[in-house]
Amino acid sequence: MLMEVISNNPVLCNIALAALEQVIDPEIGLNVVDLGLVYQLDFDEAKTEINASMTLTTRFCPMGDIIFEAVNRVLKETFKNYSVNLELCFSPAWTADRISPGGKEFLNR
């Protein structure tokens, strides 16, 4: 079952997700969107801030810092006038069920 990204603004969420497709998990070779690592993207247009949450495939992901920083950077580059509050969370825990159909095809699952 593919899990959808929670958002208060579907239009800006789709822009963000399209940009985040360039952030690749270096160990798996798949982007964070297709892996289902992005949980939430909320946009406060009045305060020009993005409140986002994401996870990693495991708490001990050796590339976790690199992936987290890349997501943060891409959001800041895509929404130049917005501040970004990015939270790393592990609840709910990531499972392979979050991988998109295209991602599963890429991984031959």
CA dihedral 98, 13, 72, 64 (to 10 degrees): 0
**Residue 89 belongs to a domain:** yes
Q: Estimate to the nearest angstrom the gap between the alpha carbon of 71 and the chain centroid.
A: 7
**50 vs 80, 92, 101, 103, CA distance in Å?**
11, 21, 27, 26
Number of domains in the chain: 1
Q: What tokens appear for 72 in the block?
A: 């943060």
31 strand-pairing partners: 24
Whole domain around residue 39: which residue ranges? Answer: 6-106
| Domain membership flag for residue 1 | no
Q: What is the pLDDT of residue 3?
A: 60
Looking at every residue in the chain, the average pLDDT score rounds to 94
> Taking Cα atoms as reference points, which of 49, 52, 47 lies closest to residue 7?
52
Q: Looking at the domain assignment, is residue 34 inside a domain?
A: yes
CATH for 62: 3.30.300.130
User: What is the tens place of the pLDDT at every residue in 42-87?
Assistant: 999 999 999 999 999 999 999 999 999 999 999 999 999 999 999 9
Residue 70 covered by a domain: yes
| Residue 98 belongs to a domain | yes
On the question of pLDDT at 1 being above 50, the answer is: no
